[in-house]
Amino acid sequence: MLGRKTYTRKKFDHSYAEIVRQLAAYTKLAKAVGATTDKKAGTAFQAFESLFVLARPFVHRFRMVTGKDGRCAR
């Protein structure tokens, strides 16, 4: 996939809203798993947690634009 140098405000806002939605669902799931003594649920949650990626919309950004720490280099 090609890298990206720019993001529109609409794309950024949509991605931000999606991350907020995903975090809310993750928090709800974590509380439900924490409230149970079922070890299979805990194991399944740990497997899911390692695959949970929030920054997916921004993984193909160019470092020359965002810098090494992810902040915009201006």
The amino acid present at 66, given as its one-letter code, is: T
The confidence band for 61, taking pLDDT boundaries of 50, 70 and 90, is: low
Residue range 26-40, pLDDT digits in tens: 899 999 999 999 999
- Any domain includes 21: yes
- Any domain includes 2: no
- Any domain includes 72: no
Extract the tokens encoding 37.
Answer: 């003594």
Domain total of the chain: 1
Residue range 1-34, pLDDT digits in tens: 567 777 788 988 988 898 899 889 889 999 999 9
- Any domain includes 45: yes
Q: Quick one: which of 63, 67, 56 has its CA closest to 14?
A: 56
Domain that holds residue 21: 9-66
Residues 6 or more apart from 29 whose CB is under 8 A from it? 45, 48
- In the DSSP assignment, the letter for residue 4 is B
